[in-house]
C-alpha cells in the first residue's frame, strides 16, 4: 500500500502542472533545463512524513510544490524547536547542499504535500554552468539569512499577537515562497505548531489582525491584505492591545 512505502520509494516524475510550480526552472537555458528535467523527481508526502532528518547525508535539494512542511530540531532535553514553515514554492537546504554536509534540522510534512527533489550532483552541475540558477540560489541564501534573523527576534517577543503577525509575514515572503501568493492554505492548528502557541491563542491573534484589516480568515486558509503591517513590530505593538491595556 502507498502509505507503507517511504517517501523516497514514492518518488515519481513530476507532472507538467507540478513543473509549473518550480520557480527556478524558467531561469535556465534550454540545455540546463533539459539537464534539470532529466533528474527532477517528486514525492507524495503524507502528514508526519520526514523529508530530511538530523544527521542524514544530503542527497537532494528539496522544494514544496504543494502542501506545508515545518523545519525543526530537538534540543538536549528532547524539546522540539520549530524554526519556520515551508509553504508552496519554497526551496530549502541550499546551504547544506552547497557544503554536502549532514542535515542539522528535521523537515516534516504537516499535511499531505508534494515535495520536489533535485539530486545533489545536478544541483552542483547547475551551479557550475547556469548563471540564472546561481542568482536564484544567491537570492535564496540572502533571504534565508534575513528570515532567520527575524526568527530570532520573534523568539524574544513577549507579545503573542506580534509573534503570530511576524510569523505570518515570514510565510508570505514572495522571494522564498512565490507559490503562496495572497492566500496561504493553513489551519489554525498548523499555525500554532509553527508559532509555538496554543491554537486558542493563535485564534485570538488572528481575530485581532483581521479586525485591523491586515488579514482575512477564509475557508482553509488566510489572505494577506497588508503585508507591511504584518512585518511592522512597532505597528503591532502599538495597536494589538487587550481592552484592559488600552483603557
Tell me the CATH number at 114: 2.60.120.10
pLDDT tens-digit profile of 75-124? 666 667 777 889 999 999 999 999 999 998 999 999 999 999 999 999 99
Of the three residues 131, 151, 171, the one that is the final residue of a domain is: 151
pLDDT confidence of residue 233? 52
- Contact between 21 and 66 under an 8 Å Cβ cutoff? The reply is yes
pLDDT at 242 over 50: no
| C-alpha–C-alpha distance, residues 217 and 209, integer Å | 9
Q: What is the pLDDT of residues 141-195, one digit of tens each?
A: 988 887 777 666 666 666 788 889 988 988 998 889 988 888 899 999 999 988 8
CATH number, domain of 192, equals 1.10.10.10
Amino acid 60: pLDDT: 95
What is the domain range of residue 163?
Answer: 158-246
Q: What is the pLDDT of residues 112-143, one digit of tens each?
A: 999 999 999 999 999 999 999 999 999 999 88
pTM: 0.82
* Calpha distance 206→148 (Å, rounded): 23
- The closest of 22, 40, 19 to 177, measured between CA atoms, is 22
Are the beta carbons of 36 and 118 closer than 8 angstroms? yes
Residues 221, 236, single domain; the answer is yes
Give 12's DSSP letter. Answer: B
The reply to whether 111 and 38 lie within a common domain is yes
Domain final residue pick, 134, 151, 168: 151
Last residue of a domain, one of 129, 151, 173: 151
Same domain, 165 and 143: no
Nearest alpha carbon to residue 7 among 71, 58, 52, 40: 52
Amino acid at each position: 500500500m502507498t502509505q507503507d512505502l517511504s517517501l523516497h520509494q514514492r518518488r515519481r516524475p513530476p507532472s507538467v502542472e507540478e513543473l509549473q510550480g518550480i520557480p527556478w526552472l524558467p531561469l535556465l537555458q534550454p540545455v540546463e533545463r533539459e539537464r534539470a528535467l532529466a533528474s527532477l523527481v517528486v514525492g507524495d508526502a503524507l502528514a508526519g512524513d520526514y523529508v530530511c532528518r538530523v544527521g542524514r547525508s544530503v542527497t537532494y535539494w528539496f522544494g514544496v510544490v504543494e502542501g506545508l512542511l515545518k523545519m525543526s530540531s530537538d534540543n538536549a532535553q528532547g524539546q522540539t524547536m520549530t524554526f519556520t514553515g515551508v509553504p508552496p514554492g519554497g526551496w530549502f537546504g541550499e546551504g547544506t547542499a552547497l557544503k554536502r554536509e549532514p542535515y542539522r534540522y528535521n523537515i516534516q510534512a504537516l499535511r499531505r504535500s508534494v515535495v520536489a527533489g533535485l539530486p545533489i550532483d545536478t544541483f552542483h552541475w547547475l551551479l557550475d554552468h547556469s548563471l540564472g540558477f546561481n542568482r536564484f540560489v544567491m537570492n535564496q541564501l540572502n533571504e534565508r539569512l534575513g528570515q532567520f534573523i527575524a526568527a530570532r527576534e520573534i523568539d524574544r517577543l513577549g507579545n503573542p499577537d506580534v509573534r503570530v503577525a511576524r510569523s505570518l509575514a515570514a510565510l508570505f515572503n514572495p522571494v522564498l515562497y512565490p507559490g503562496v501568493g495572497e492566500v496561504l492554505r493553513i489551519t489554525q492548528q498548523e499555525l500554532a505548531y509553527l508559532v509555538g502557541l496554543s491554537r486558542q491563542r493563535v485564534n485570538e491573534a488572528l481575530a485581532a489582525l483581521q479586525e485591523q484589516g491586515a488579514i482575512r480568515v477564509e475557508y482553509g486558509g488566510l489572505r494577506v491584505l497588508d503585508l507591511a503591517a504584518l512585518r511592522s513590530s512597532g505597528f503591532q505593538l502599538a495597536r494589538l492591545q487587550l481592552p484592559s491595556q488600552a483603557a
